[in-house]
Amino acid sequence: MINGINHITFAITDLERSLDFYVNLLGLRIVGKWDEGAYLLAGNQWIALNVDKERAAEAMGDNTHISFNVLSSDFHRLKEKLESAGVKSFKENSSEGESFYFLDPDGHKLELHYNTLEDRLKWARENNWSSFTLM
């Protein structure tokens, strides 16, 4: 039985550019590095960056993305930091809580969000999402 997510891997094209983005802009902590990759921590979540020359630097057209949790007190500061650095947004927020949807240098879709699953479930119930059932 699955009991959690072990790690998330991003295929990247330029290690130093990605490290600058994930470490210096987003604030992830680097814990290991080699010629073709690095291991980072987002809180206690393990993120792997692996250079992959086959990676196409374009965002996919669907809504698949990874959402990073931030404290509400840090949300606006980090969003402004990303926007000032020229990070591209890929959609506007239309759900509960504040979110910022953006792309990394290789086109991976990411999000900043600070509410919890419990907040989202409560919002879904209160806003009568069509066919939403709490399990």
Record the pTM.
Answer: 0.84
Token pair listed for 90? 């890929």
Predicted confidence at residue 50, as pLDDT, reads 96
Show the domains of the chain with their CATH numbers.
Answer: 1-55 (3.10.180.10), 56-135 (3.10.180.10)
Q: Which amino acid is at 78?
A: L
Instruction: Extract the residue ranges of the chain whose pLDDT is less than 50.
Output: none
Predicted confidence at residue 135, as pLDDT, reads 65
Predicted confidence at residue 3, as pLDDT, reads 86
Predicted confidence at residue 100, as pLDDT, reads 95
SS3 assignment, position 92: coil
Predicted confidence at residue 121, as pLDDT, reads 79
> What is the separation of C-alpha 45 from the centre of its chain, rounded to a whole number of angstroms?
12
Predicted confidence at residue 130, as pLDDT, reads 66
Residue 75 burial class via C-beta count within 10 angstroms: exposed 0-12, middle 13-18, buried 19 and up: middle
Beta bridge partners of 99: 113
